[in-house]
Chains A and B, each alone.
Chain A
Amino acid sequence: MAKKIRVLMAKPGLDGHDRGAKVVARALRDAGMEVIYTGLRQTPEDIVEAAIQEDVDAIGLSSLSGAHMALFPEVVKLLKKRGAGDIVVVAGGIIPDDDVPRLAKAGIKAVFGPGTPLADIVAFFRSAAK
Chain B
Amino acid sequence: MKIVELVLKGDKRAAGKLISMIEDDDPGATEALAAIYPHTGKAHIVGFTGPPGVGKSSLINRLIREFRVRDRKVGVVAVDPTSPFTGGAVLGDRIRMSDTGTDPGVFIRSMATRGHTGGLGLATFDAVKVLDASGIDLVFVETVGAGQSEIEIASRAHTTVVVQMPQSGDAVQALKAGILEIGDLYVVNKTDLGGADAMSSNLDFMLEERQGWRPPVIQTSALEGTGVKELADAINKHYRYLKGGAGWRRKESDRARKELYESMRRLLAESFADETEGITLEETVGAIVARKTDARAAAKKLLRDLKLPK
Contact = CB atoms under 8 A, between A and B. Distances in A.
Contact of A37 (B15, B24, B95): B95
Contacts, number: 85
B107 interface: yes
Interface of A, helix, strand, loop or mixed by DSSP: mixed
Given A1-B114, A4-B23, A50 B94 contact: yes
B225 to A, nearest CB: 19
Given A29-B86, A37-B95, A39-B95, A53 B24 contact: no
A54 B127 CA distance: 11
Contacts of B83: 29-30
A33 B88 contact: yes
Residue among A1, A26, A45 with the highest chain B CB neighbour number at 10 A: A1
Contacts of B255: none
Interface residues of B, number: 31
Contacts of A49: 101-102
Interface of A: 1-4, 6, 25-26, 28-39, 42-43, 45-46, 49-50, 52-55, 82-84
Given A46-B101, A54-B94, 17 more contacts: A1-B23, A1-B25, A4-B23, A4-B87, A4-B112, A25-B90, A29-B83, A31-B86, A34-B91, A34-B112, A35-B88, A35-B91, A39-B98, A45-B102, A50-B108, A54-B16, A84-B13
B24 A38 contact: no
Nearest to A6: B20
Nearest to A25: B90
Contacts of A2: 24
Max chain B CB contacts within 10 Å: which of A30, A39, A49, A82? A49
Contacts of B65: none
B132 to A, nearest CB: 15
A45 B103 CA distance: 10
A52 B24 contact: no
Residue in B19, B26, B92 with the greatest tally of chain A CB atoms within 10 Å: B92
Interface string B76-102: 000000110011111110110010011
B109 interface: yes
Nearest to B109: A53
A74 B186 CA distance: 43
A110 B107 CA distance: 29
Given A43-B101, A54-B109, A32 B13 contact: no
A36 B13 contact: no
A36 to B, nearest CB: 5
Nearest to A33: B88
A125 B16 CA distance: 20
B30 to A, nearest CB: 13
Contact of A53 (B89, B108, B112): B108
B102 A46 contact: yes
B12 interface: yes
B40 interface: no
B226 interface: no
B110 interface: yes
B117 to A, nearest CB: 16
Nearest to A27: B88
Contacts of A82: 13
B237 interface: no
B88 A34 contact: yes
Contacts of A84: 13
B229 interface: no
B151 to A, nearest CB: 25
B252 to A, nearest CB: 27
Interface string B105-119: 001111010100000
Contacts of A54: 16, 94, 109-110
Among B15, B25, B101, B110: residue with most chain A CB under 10 A: B110
B17 interface: yes
A84 B12 CA distance: 11
Contacts of A42: 98
Interface-central residue, A4, A38, A53, A84, by most chain B CB under 10 Å: A53
Nearest to B107: A53
A33 B109 CA distance: 16
